[in-house]
Amino acid sequence: MLPNWINMLSWWQWAVLAAIPPAIVALYFLKLKRTPLEVPSTYLWHKSIEDLHVNSIWQRLRKNLLLFLQLLLIGLVMLAVLRPSWQSGSLSGDRFIFLIDHSASMSATDVQPSRLAEAKRQVLALVDRMKSGDRAMVISFAETAQVVQEFTDNRRQLRERVESIRPAHGTTSLAPALRLAAGLANPGSTATDATDIQVAEALPAELMIFSDGRFGPVDGFALGNLRPTYVPIGDPQATNLAITAFSTRRQETGQRQVYGQLQNDGPKPVAAEVELYVDGQLDNADAVEIAPGEAEGLIFPLPEMSDGVVRLNLSTSDALALDNQAYATVNQARRGQVLVVTPGNEALRLALRTTAASQVADVELVEPAYLESEAYQAQATAGHLDLIIFDQCAPQETMPAANTLLLGRLPGERWGEVRKKSTPGIIDVDRAHPLLQLVDLTNIDIAESMVLAPPAGSTTLVESDAGPLVAIGPRDGFEDLVVGFEIYGQSDTGERYVNTNWPLRASFPTFVLGVLQYFCGQAEFDAIRSVKPGQPVRLTGVAEAKRLEVVGPDGARDRVSRGKNHRFTFTATGQIGVYTVYHGPQITERFAVNLFDRTESNLATRPEQAIQIGYVEVAGKTDWEPTRRETWKLLVLLALGVLVLEWYIYNRRVYI
């Protein structure tokens, strides 16, 4: 390691400095001016000097030793003025936060052994360079951020904790990690509350981000006391062919097909063989060659199967192996479960019995009296009904754990005060909403309708001249679709009357089908679902199940209990692969976790490109350069020591 030099002097100052050593030597060449002193007799002195002449070489050397010391002194001063420093050395700052990206792209092997290992190696090297008493904290981040190690000055512990970071399969999100770091460096202060006393002292810290930069700018974040440094990890020329999409889909003809998309983000064209495995058996294969920056779609026919696992395998040796495999699951087709509570509604019954509607869901018709039964209570709380339609009756005090469609009734008090409006004129229909696609409401008449006051978060679907007539609003993870008018009304005298001519129009069964598809379509979608790593999965489960067991791709078993909404939500989807859900010994469903992230799959780091944190642009530091270890102080001390030594030798007549 060669020292760095900083020139502190201009050329003429150097000239003056350079003139000193010759001056010293010249002074030594000049005859020493001796102080004359009269003594009684030089007799004995002469004799003594004669004796010493035997040792004259030592005498000369003694004089020269002073010369050497003086030259050494001026040399040291010159060296000190040059300010030599070494690149090694301790880090500047005393508090460090190491943010280590361990997302999927960090598993890339374009730097050996992997990007994460490289990041860990660099962090460990920095930990080794920490001065005694320096404190550091380690945060790993992928989709979320975890504090791997709190602030500590225990370097051994830091090393162990850094080593313990395992690659994750998730996407990258820097913001949570920054918030974690900022929470420790910038303690919150509320400017509005005068009584708020800031208890923790704001401590500045060096924030070091070790990542491949596969994330977008972080908006709305103020660094405050954090001094960020971005260390890009990875080879900008890394090649990677990735599967960015893979799913199974049933065609109109009923034939299942597999769709896949391959993306080449590397700088070179890549040829690869694509193999399709169905339940572990090679089913199909293809050879592809993809130009750089291009994507290519793949379609394979899939044999008829009730359930199973489909795997797409890319046989190529690229940097990132995680996105060379994609999984899709085919679950047993599950039909929607719909409960219709109605005293009798021929139009609705007919609309639910169309061919298309009966393919989507199983419909059960019950009388309003059923609402009082225990069977209903069980159904309402079990949460496996996809939709309950309330016609001419209202649900009880507590809404059931299911989506609801209410005709002329309100789902509880949250929907606010309503007023009646006779013959409302429809002026606007939200046709972009999936419920009202292809539904034409221009030619229907309504005798009387409620004008709705939907709660916050609701979407008004049909707007009349008086106000909303149809709206859909959220409720604890479910949705309530409220149609403000009844199809069959009942007068105060008990007579039934037709409230609207909508059932006579073609739009009514279309709307009912849309409702079934909207609320029960999730079941169909569930059959082929795939999520990204880290995303939660809603498990369908079975009605009577209290607890499900999920076996991950690595064989790890997790137990899932019913949550607040009587639903099973599984969150530990960190691994890429197929997860199997068991109820007892029975497989209830499978789901796949795939990377499918172009940002993660694109391994090309851009070292010259800065990452944007709030309004601060943090330039990538490809050439990691720790602080200079200055040596001029040492040299000046050394020069002082030489000076003292010289003075001692001169004054104390040191014999050499």
Partner 1 sequence: MAKALASSNRQQTMNNTPPRASASPSTLHPQPSTALMRRLERLELVTRKVFRGRMKGERRSSRKGQSVEFADFRNYTPGDDLRFIDWNLYARLDRLFLKLFLEEEDLHFYTLIDASGSMGFGQPSKLDYAKQLAAALGFIGLVRADRVKIETLGTAAQANPTFRGRQNAWRMFDYLDAIRPTETTSLATGIKNFCLRNSGRGVVVLITDLMDKQGYQAALRYLLSGRQDVYVIQTLSSEELQPELQGDLRLVDCEDADEAEITVSAPLLKRYQQTLNAFVDEAREFCTRRGMSYVLVDNQLPVETLVADYLRRRGLVR
Told to check if 30 binds partner 1 by CB under 8 A, we report no
List 33, 268, 557, 564, residue binding partner 1 (CB under 8 A): 33
Per-residue binding string, partner 1, 613-632, x by CB under 8 A, is --------------------
Q: How far is the CB of 21 from partner 1 (least distance, A)?
A: 22
Q: How far is the CB of 651 from partner 1 (least distance, A)?
A: 8
* Cβ pair 237, 318 in contact under 8 A: no
Smaller CB separation from partner 1, 46 or 419: 46
Q: Considering the complex, what minimum distance in angstroms separates the CB of residue 34 from partner 1?
A: 4
Nearer to partner 1, 35 or 442 (CB): 35
Q: From the CB of 52, what's the least distance to partner 1, in Å? A: 5
**CA 472 – CA 460 distance, rounded (Å):** 6
Rounded Cα distance between 526 and 384, Å, is 14
DSSP 320-369: --GGGEEEEEEPPP--EEEEEE-S--HHHHHHHTSHHHHHHEEEEEE-GG
Distance CA 101, CA 599 (A): 14
Examine residue 37 and tell whether it contacts partner 1 (CB under 8 A): yes
CA distances to 9, 23, 75 from 12, rounded to whole Å, are 8, 16, 17
In angstroms, give the least distance from the CB of 65 to partner 1. Answer: 12
Give the nearest distance from C-beta 92 to partner 1 in angstroms: 50
Strand 256-264 relative to strand 295-302, pairing: antiparallel
* Residue with Cβ nearer partner 1 (47 or 547): 47
Using the minimum distance from each CB to partner 1, give the nearer residue, 28 or 370: 28
Query: How far is Cα 459 from Cα 554, in angstroms, rounded to an integer?
Result: 42
| Minimum distance from residue 66 beta carbon to partner 1 (Å) | 11
Is the Cβ of residue 51 or residue 623 nearer to partner 1 in the bound state?
51
CB of 36 to partner 1, least distance (A): 4
Q: Is 189 exposed, middle or buried (0-12, 13-18, 19+ CB in 10 A)?
A: exposed
**Is 12 a binder of partner 1 (CB under 8 A)?**
no
User: Would you say 601 and 240 are in contact if contact means Cβ atoms under 8 Å apart?
Assistant: yes
Of 375 and 654, CB closest to partner 1 = 654
The single residue among 22, 40, 220, 254 that binds partner 1, judged by CB under 8 A, is 40
* CB of 315 closer than 8 Å to CB of 273: yes
Comparison of 28 and 582: residue with beta carbon closer to partner 1 = 28
Mark 44-83 with x for binding to partner 1 (rule: CB under 8 A) and - for no binding. Answer: xxxxxx-xx--x---x--xx--------------------
Least separation in angstroms between CB 15 and partner 1 = 31
Q: In whole angstroms, give the CA distance from residue 377 to residue 387.
A: 15
Q: Cα separation of 252 and 368, whole Å?
A: 38
Stretch that binds partner 1, among 29-37, 319-327, 523-531, 571-579 (CB under 8 A): 29-37
Site residues (CB under 8 A) for partner 1, limited to 387-406: none
Letters for 85-104 (x = contact with partner 1 by CB under 8 A, - = none) are --------------------
> What is d(CA 387, CA 518) in angstroms, rounded to the nearest whole number?
10
Location of structure tokens 């010259």: 608
What mask of x and - would describe binding to partner 1 in positions 637 to 656, judged by CB under 8 A? ---------------xxxx-
User: Is residue 496 a contact residue for partner 1 (CB under 8 A)?
Assistant: no
Helix (H, G, I), strand (E, B) or coil at 404: strand
The three-class DSSP label of residue 585 is coil
Query: Which residues in 527-586 contact partner 1 (CB under 8 A)?
Result: none
Contact 344, 307 (CB under 8 A): no
Size of the site for partner 1 (CB under 8 A): 28
Q: How far is the CB of 30 from partner 1 (least distance, A)?
A: 12
Please compute, for residue 241, the number of CA atoms within 13 A of its CA located in the half-sphere on the CB side. 26
Parallel/antiparallel/unpaired status of strands 135-141 and 95-101: parallel
Identity of the residue, 444 or 645, whose beta carbon is nearer to partner 1 in the bound complex: 645
What is the nearest approach in angstroms of partner 1 to the Cβ of residue 29?
Answer: 15
Q: Residue 68 CB, nearest distance to partner 1 (Å)?
A: 17
| Cβ proximity to partner 1, 69 vs 175, nearer residue | 69
The single residue among 7, 13, 42, 398 that binds partner 1, judged by CB under 8 A, is 42
Check if the beta carbon of residue 239 is closer than 8 Å to that of residue 320.
no
Q: What is the DSSP string of 186-202?
A: S----SS-TT----SPP
Give every CB contact of residue 173 below 8 A, 6+ residues apart in sequence: 141, 142, 143, 144, 145, 215
Question: Which is nearer to partner 1, 66 or 78 (by Cβ)?
Answer: 66
Least CB distance to partner 1 at residue 83 (A): 38
Amino acid in position 165: I
Nearer of residues 35 and 190 to partner 1, judged by Cβ: 35
Range in contact with partner 1 (rule: CB under 8 A) among 30-38, 233-241, 253-261, 322-330: 30-38
Judged by beta carbon, residue 46 or residue 249, the one nearer partner 1 is: 46
> What value, to the nearest 5°, has the Cα angle with vertex 332 and ends 327 and 337?
125
Taking the mean position of all CA atoms in its chain, how far away is CA 350?
Answer: 49
Among 2, 34, 156, 268, binds partner 1 (CB under 8 A): 34
36 is an interface residue for partner 1 by CB under 8 A: yes
Q: Which is nearer to partner 1, 37 or 194 (CB)?
A: 37
Displacement of CA 542 from its chain's centroid (Å): 33
Residue placing its CB nearer to partner 1 in the complex, 48 or 359: 48
Smallest separation, CB 44 to partner 1 (Å)? 5
The residue (of 124 and 649) whose beta carbon lies closer to partner 1 is 649
3-class DSSP assignment, residue 128 = helix
Output the CA–CA distances (angstroms, integers) from residue 482 to 340, 424, 550, 573, in the order listed: 14, 16, 37, 36
Residue 483's DSSP bridge partners are 407, 470
CB of 128 to partner 1, least distance (A): 50
State the Cα–Cα distance between residues 191 and 196, nearest whole angstrom.
8
Residue 29 contacts partner 1 per CB under 8 A: no
- Residues in contact with partner 1, shown as a per-residue x/- string from 154 to 193 under the rule CB under 8 A: ----------------------------------------
CA distance 499 to 420: 13
Q: Is the CB of 66 or the CB of 365 nearer to partner 1?
A: 66
Q: What is the separation of C-alpha 595 from the centre of its chain, rounded to a whole number of angstroms?
A: 13
* Residue numbers at the binding site for partner 1 (CB under 8 A): 32-49, 51-52, 55, 59, 62-63, 652-655
